[in-house]
Homo-oligomer: A and B are copies of this chain.
Amino acid sequence: MRLTTKGRYAVTAMLDLAFHSQIKPVTLTDIAARQTISLSYLEQLFARLRRAGMVKGVRGPGGGYKLCRKASDINISEVIAAVDEPLDSTKCGGEANCQKDKACLTHNLWMGLSEQIRNYLEGISLADLLEKNQVQEIAQRQHHDAQQAIEIYRHPE
């Protein structure tokens, strides 16, 4: 899992869509204006989101985009995965010649971290974000949980 501005753009746009599309479809032009993202770039992002089955386009006047599923059933992880290229799996793609090398330790760390981030983002839906504005507070609580996890990591049992 990579974390770049591209994914952030996608999440921003999806949040805007989830917030505004409750009555009727939302045009990309509107999202572009509200979020200051270029229209054509949004089109590219939404082409991927559509192919991933997360949004549906409605053509013609009064058309636009709407969510395929409920906002509570779309998590941040899949939004990012939809727009990001599936990045090459770190040279040693499970090759046998890798285990002997110390380099693979790093590989494992990264896999573990990726997994951790993915899980974290999978647990947060678009609806979660729209419902509660006190993200700071939540981050604080999760910070605390993370510290506990680290304790367990360092001193098992």
A interface with B by C-beta (< 8 Å):
1-4, 8, 11-12, 15-16, 19, 34-36, 76, 90-91, 101-103, 105-106, 108-113, 115-117, 119-121, 123-124, 128-130, 133, 135-136, 138-139, 141-143, 145-150, 152-154, 156
In Å, the complex CA distance between A146 and B8 comes to 22
Q: How many copies of this chain are found per oligomer?
A: 2
Contact of A117 among B106, B117, B119, B138 (CB under 8 A): B117
Contacts of A108 in B (CB 8 A): 135-136, 139
**A146 to B143, Cβ gap below 8 A?**
no
In Å, the complex CA distance between A143 and B152 comes to 12
Contact of A116 among B101, B146, B154 (CB under 8 A): B146
